[in-house]
Amino acid sequence: MKKILILGGTTEARQLAGQLAARASVVLSLAGRTESPVAQGVPVRTGGFGGADGLAAYLREMRIDLLIDATHPYAAQISANAAQAAHTTGTPILALRRPGWQPVEGDRWTQVDTVGDAAQALGSAPRRVFLALGRQEVTAFEAAPQHHYLIRSVDAVEPKLAVPDASYLLARGPFREAEERALLEKHRIDAVVSKNSGGEATYGKIAAARALGIEVVMVGRPALPDVASAETVEALAAIVNQFGVDHFL
């Protein structure tokens, strides 16, 4: 059986692993950021490889036939490492690149490049802000301590944010629009800060903000390496299944 390494940490990576497991020997790689990740259904390895060179060494040592980058669109470092390691080892690579959301009629988006810019874009007057960001990213908002923050994350934010007024919620998506709307209303939120993750699982807050006329400060995507890609799990699985792993060798 051919060996496929999937770089994951996303729902799509888990689904893809499930779809490919019947045809190939699949290993899913997680960074190890989440304390209790959901069951992935295939063999998992956890933790960094040690940069592009470490990943290249792993690809050689494990005799990986196909590398699939199915990481989150904001995980730019691992995607760059994957492209480089594939190149240096001559390992075929495919990427799952979920398209970003586009603003539609009624959306009030302020588009910024970084979380630091998002903290600035909230302005100087105190606001009630929902941060739907990873726990590593929320520290940028210590630069704007005048706002009230509602922070939702999968794992607890430790240490807590050095701002006078923040509350914390632990939850794992998917989040539906009706639940998100109820949350925004309950906490009287007037600005949502979000990454442009794309996909259905976290779109509820964007739709809810539109329905309530709330501003969304949207942090734009980082640049990712140019590798052959598909937009959905089904399309990527179809490429692999149609041609077989041999096609990429």
Q: Which residues bind ligand NAP (CB under 6 A)?
A: 7-10, 29-31, 33, 48-51, 54-55, 71-72, 74-78, 81, 134, 195
C-alpha 18/C-alpha 8 separation (Å) is 12
Nearer to ligand NAP, 2 or 98 (CB): 98
Nearer to ligand NAP, 8 or 198 (CB): 8
Task: Please say whether the beta carbons of 95 and 12 come within 8 A.
Answer: no
Task: Please say whether the beta carbons of 233 and 13 come within 8 A.
Answer: no
Closest CA to 6 of 177, 213, 236, 247: 236
| Beta carbon of residue 188, minimum distance to ligand NAP (angstroms, whole number) | 27
C-alpha 83/C-alpha 101 separation (Å) is 25
Query: Could you count the other beta carbons within 10 Å of the beta carbon of residue 84?
Result: 16
| Beta carbon of residue 199, minimum distance to ligand NAP (angstroms, whole number) | 11
Nearer to ligand NAP, 24 or 59 (CB): 59
| Beta carbon of residue 79, minimum distance to ligand NAP (angstroms, whole number) | 6
The torsion angles phi and psi of 37, rounded to 5 degrees, stand at: -65, 155
Nearer to ligand NAP, 7 or 140 (CB): 7
| Beta carbon of residue 185, minimum distance to ligand NAP (angstroms, whole number) | 26
Nearer to ligand NAP, 78 or 189 (CB): 78
Q: Is the N-terminal amide bond of 126 cis, ω within 30° of 0?
A: no
| Beta carbon of residue 153, minimum distance to ligand NAP (angstroms, whole number) | 11
